[in-house]
Amino acid sequence: MNDSTIMRILFLDQSGKMGGAELSLLDLAKDHRKTGRVALFQDGPFRKALEVAQIPVTVLSQGAPIDVGRDSTGWEALQQTGALLKLVKRAAALGQDYDVLYANTLKALVVGALASVLCRKPLVYHLRDILSQEHFSRSNLRLAIFLSNHFARHVIANSEATRQAFIQAGGRSHKISVIYNGFQPEDYQRPPEEISALRSQLGLSSTDYVVGHFSRLSPWKGQHILIESLSYCPKNTVVLLVGEALFGEEDYGAQLRQQVEKLGLGDRVKFLGFRSDVPSLMAACDLVTHTSTAPEPFGRVIIEAMLCGTPVIAAAAGGQRNWWNRARRAG
């Protein structure tokens, strides 16, 4: 395919941080670096990662983030109308030069829906969330369904669980298809010398049994469950918590540290913060755990651990439940 036949896509994302939705977009946008552009509502490390990958990027706003998160109400969202309209105007102006607007997150759907009307371009929504009350307030659920049904030309679900929740919440079934996130297996093959060097850098001995958890620190990602379980495990079990609080959940990070102290596990839990060497760290683990307390929409970390060849334990819920059922049927 030459460049003139590739659709020009303006990708919209609300965050400047490196969450799973952004890492998935980073992979996708690499195939569109010549004709597409990513427009972010916030500056941050994600912008830098896009630049390193030579993907054109524009930051639409330098101000405070628009908060239409899990617990916010419709009224709070309304209070931010001014900031929202500015984003819409900028996205619509940029959109003139593209064939399609693509919204990678819920806030991007809000902005993208209005911008697509202004610049008269079709909108595709990549739904990476399970639209249920476990994850969203009622008003945000209604908003997501309304905008998807009336403004999106098509909705891409990141798993069958995400698709089903969309339909159950009132989304139109003919509008949504499942496309799983793609991975490059070779990115997850690390040389054994690198892995053993990393284990010693981390102060891990050959007799330690290393359990990794790779996720932003957030109550629904359930790091507290892993810490509690550790108190029942043999003394040579060590936990690596890889990730930091990304979306205003710093209090949870502090609670986890207190929990570790209270249980006397200070020498067996290592808080590593956000890391960009996840494949090597996963390969350095004996086990990876996934402890989300609500169904995980897709769960990149589960696939990544398997690609690294490290056993992984995850709840049979959300995105991974379908793979599990399929694997069981296949024997």
Crossing angle (nearest 10°) for helices 250-262 and 223-230:
10
128 part of the interface to ligand GLC, by CB under 6 A:
yes
List the one residue out of 150, 85, 88, 135 whose CA is nearest residue 115. 88
Site for ligand UDP in 227-246 (CB under 6 A): 242-243
DSSP string, 49-100: HHHHTT--EEE---SPPP---TT--HHHHHHTHHHHHHHHHHHHHHHTT-SE
> Is residue 221 at the binding interface for ligand GLC, with CB under 6 A as the rule?
no
| 300 binds ligand GLC, rule: CB under 6 A | yes
Least Å distance, CB 162 to ligand UDP, is: 12
Cα separation, 232 vs 24, whole angstroms: 35
Among 211, 296, 304, 315, binds ligand GLC (CB under 6 A): 296
Please name the residue that has the structure tokens 């509690």: 228
The reply on whether position 158 binds ligand GLC by CB under 6 A is yes
Task: With contacts defined by CB under 6 A, name the span among 13-21, 57-65, 196-204, 220-228 that binds ligand GLC.
Answer: 13-21
Q: Are 66 and 79 in contact (CB under 8 A)?
A: no
Applying CB under 6 A, which part among 16-24, 85-93, 260-268, 308-316 lies near ligand GLC? 16-24
Report if residue 135 touches ligand UDP, rule: CB under 6 A.
Answer: no
Out of 9, 15, 18, 24, point to the residue binding ligand GLC (CB under 6 A): 24
Question: Could you tell which of ligand GLC, ligand UDP, none binds residue 112, using a CB distance below 5 to 8 A set by kind?
Answer: none
Which residues 6+ apart lie within 8 Å of 47 measured at CB? Answer: 16, 40, 57, 59
Judged by CB under 6 A, the residue of 20, 65, 112, 318 near ligand UDP is 20
Output the six-digit token pair for 314.
Answer: 């995850």
Partners of 287 in beta bridges: 211
**265-274 CB burial, b ≥16 within 10 A, e <16:** beebbbbbee
Contacts with ligand GLC, residue ranges (CB under 6 A)? 19-21, 24, 128, 158, 181, 296-300
Contacts with ligand UDP, residue ranges (CB under 6 A)? 18-21, 23, 214-216, 242-243, 274-275, 278, 298-301, 304
